[in-house]
Amino acid sequence: MGTLAVSAVVIGAVALIIRSMIRDKKNGKSIQCGGQCKDCGGHCH
């Protein structure tokens, strides 16, 4: 029973992380430079 509870928590955390990454990508933020294009030499866009 404990294994199932831990597995559910881990799966939930991974799902939230992936959801956040997809949302950031749709908003134009880059994973590589964190959305601060002035600091990465304009490689974001």
What pTM was computed for the model? 0.60
Q: Are 4 and 18 in contact (CB under 8 A)?
A: no
Instruction: Please say if the pLDDT value at position 44 is more than 60.
Output: no
pLDDT of 14-38, one tens digit each?
Answer: 999 999 988 887 877 766 655 566 6
Cβ atoms of 31 and 25 within 8 Å: the answer is yes
Residue 40 is predicted with a pLDDT of 62
Whether 45 shows a pLDDT value over 60: the answer reads no
Q: What letters, b where the CB count within 10 A reaches 16 and e where it falls short, cover 25-35? A: eeeebeeeeee
Confirm if 21 and 11 have CB atoms less than 8 A apart: no
